[in-house]
Structure 1
Amino acid sequence: MATEDERYRQSSQYRLWSFTRAGLQDLRATTNSLAKQQIAPRLTANPPPDFLTAEEEVRLVRFHTIELIQAAQFCELPTEVRSTAAVFFRRFYVTNSVMTYPPTELLKTSLFFGSKAEGYYIRLSRLSEKLSGTTSEQILAGEFLLCQGVRFAFDVRHPLRALDGAILELQQRLPNEQSRINKAHVRAREVLKFSALLTDVYFHYTPSQIMMAALQMVDRTLVDVLVPAPHSGTGDGAAGEMHKNIMHAIASCRVMLEEEPPERMANYWETPETIKAMKPLRKKLQRCRDPDRVDLVALQKARREQALNKEKKPAGPAEGEMFGEAISREVKRRKVDTADDVFGPPMPL
């Protein structure tokens, strides 16, 4: 029987969306560089504006992720839906730039598509009514873009279920400390509902490691109960080394989670440092956005019309009449064989 670790390594989350820290940084830098190359010729400003750096893009994505979480809460979406939507949103902006596609629009699309991915039904019209000033067309305009951006990987493994299992295990091992365990459960869930979604832990760690790190943030000794050190004198050096590696991964994940403590959720926009940091970045984004892709509704309409015009183009000579049905069938076969990949061509920046 396959272990939980082996099953996770077969998931799209591990295969497509797990990176080393250096690898993720390089990918974001490449995305930022390509966006600048694509956008610069389309801007009319002289001299051209300063473009966002890759680090500034990360800060803006984090800021808009908080907006997404708050919008999900306002729309009364379940925790799993808001978590999946946030993961989709952050994945999209690893290989797409906020200068290319507007995050204020993609976060709405992420909420709707996150609901579908989690099997939670919400009427599109109801969601658009909840999101003030938003139409159903705006929500749907970025849906295919989002699907391509997340590489059609819709299965998101969250650490919340792992936490519930760990709490049951702790309740069995520590029957006299139910109050302490329940308190840790509530606090760890808050970490997973906020800190895990704002940081890069989903890109670097497994759901069980993220769960253990959150639990370690709120009650460190409970993790020692779940992952006890091997007894000394057993002579099993491999077990000791494995335990050391596990605890190192949990500790490094905890440090990343602590960058965004859940207490910040209530007053993120009210702190002077946030206002001071975000206001110039948002102004900078306004000056260097891609003018051809700022309106996703118009972009979708233009692409749809382009596709329709291709279909209406007059055909060439009637090959079937000139050379027989066999050649006509061969032409059709060649067209199918040379078609784009089933997932479509990569989206231009």
Structure 2
Amino acid sequence: MATEDARYRQSSQYRLWSFTPSHLATLREKTNTLARTHISNRLRASDPPVDPLPNFLTPEEEYMILNHFTLELLRAAPYCQLPTDIQATAAIFLRRFYLTNSVMTYPPQELIKTCIFFGCKAEGYFIRVQKIADIFPNTTGEMILAAEYVLCQGIRFAFDVRHPFRALEGTVMELRRLGNFDDDRINRAHKRTRDILKFSPLVTDAYFHYTPSQIMYAALAIADEELVQRMLQEAFAGQNEEAKAKVWSVIRTCKEMLEKEPPEKMTSYWTDPESNKAIKALRRKLAKCRDPDRVDLVALQKARREEAAQKPKPKIASDADEKVFGNGTGEGRESKRRKVAPEAVDPFGPPL
């Protein structure tokens, strides 16, 4: 029987969306460089040409804007009355998309709406697109759907997102079974951990670096580290302490990442004058260096459809059917029949 770890290693999340920190940084640098090159060429070729070119966003500035719009998504999703898993899936779709696409190329304020809608579809939760459009001002269903295929391409058609919420519920049940802690303490840790998981991993790179269970244990360690140590003691009973120390080291590293983005930031972010000032400056800078060909995704989708409709259809030879099915006399079929052994040999073998 395959272990849980073996099953996770077969998932698209592990195969396509797991990176080391250095690899992740390299990908973001590459995405930023390619976007700057393409946008520069388009601005120079525009009528009239743009000269001088604007100051482009750096990878660090793109990451700050991505975090801002991830927060915007998490703030808007509850108004759709969506389950926690769907909100988390939508946020991960957004962060995956902007790993290989620049915020200067595709407008994030449009993509967050598409991510929410497509997150519902990916999780099997069916909702009318107009219901989501009504939440956002000046938004139509057509605008949400315009970026759907672009989003699918950007996330490499990997719609499966593994979250740490189910791992948390299993761990809480196990802690209650062990009986070393009273229910009130476990309940407090459970609530705090769930609050952390609904925010901190979604606005960091935790999903790119760690497994769902590692993320869950890291969040639980923030809430109550002794509970995690008890679970590790149970899991590694009678085994080498070195293996236990190695696992705890990974959990501690993930814990440090999550602590940089506590769930309280969800409410304080919008009232912090410094963060508001910084993001306003970045959005003004973004407005000056956006890809002119992809500002209007609805118009871009229409242009692509018209281009596809104008392409000549490939001609089919008149005798194509005859080559496959014959000309009605049976000649074609006879020539395609599989050769069998001579009649003297029974195709099913000799008698028993």
- Same fold? TM cut 0.5: yes
* Aligned-partner residue type, residue 76 of structure 2: A
CA separation in 2, counterparts of 1:186 and 1:131?
Answer: 30
Deviation at 1:267, TM superposition (A): 2.0
List per-residue Cα deviations over 1:166-216 (Å, max 9, x = no partner): 111111113651001001111101110000100000000000000000000
* Aligned-partner residue type, residue 251 of structure 1: R
Partner of 1:212: 217
Partner of 1:222: 227
Partner of 1:128: 133
* Aligned-partner residue type, residue 207 of structure 2: Y
Kept in 1: contact 2:17–2:208 (CA 8 A)? yes
* Aligned-partner residue type, residue 134 of structure 1: T
CA separation in 2, counterparts of 1:69 and 1:124?
Answer: 18
Kept in 2: contact 1:201–1:210 (CA 8 A)? yes
CA separation in 2, counterparts of 1:27 and 1:208?
Answer: 25
* Aligned-partner residue type, residue 153 of structure 1: A
Question: What are structure 1's unaligned runs of at least 5 residues?
Answer: 330-349
SS at match of 1:266: helix
* Aligned-partner residue type, residue 277 of structure 2: K
CA separation in 1, counterparts of 2:260 and 2:323?
Answer: 63
Deviation at 1:320, TM superposition (A): 3.7
Partner of 1:166: 171
Partner of 2:28: 28
CA separation in 2, counterparts of 1:114 and 1:97?
Answer: 20
Identity, % of aligned positions? 55
CA separation in 1, counterparts of 2:65 and 2:109?
Answer: 11
Kept in 2: contact 1:159–1:211 (CA 8 A)? yes
Partner of 1:243: 244
The alpha-carbon distance between structure 1 residues 30 and 139, as it changes in their structure 2 partners (threshold 3 A), is same
SS at match of 2:233: coil
CA separation in 2, counterparts of 1:144 and 1:2?
Answer: 34
Q: Which has the larger radius of gyration?
A: 2
* Aligned-partner residue type, residue 125 of structure 1: Q
Partner of 2:9: 9
Deviation at 1:319, TM superposition (A): 8.0
Partner of 1:103: 108
Kept in 2: contact 1:42–1:291 (CA 8 A)? yes
SS at match of 2:274: helix
TM-score (normalizing by structure 1): 0.87
CA separation in 2, counterparts of 1:199 and 1:122?
Answer: 28
Residue-pair matches, total? 318
TM-score (normalizing by structure 2): 0.87
SS at match of 1:228: helix
Kept in 1: contact 2:80–2:131 (CA 8 A)? no
* Aligned-partner residue type, residue 275 of structure 2: T
Q: Which structure is richer in relative contact order (CA contacts within 8 A, separation 6 or more)?
A: 1
**2:19 is the alignment partner of 1:19:** yes
Kept in 1: contact 2:130–2:141 (CA 8 A)? yes
Partner of 2:294: 293
* Aligned-partner residue type, residue 16 of structure 2: L
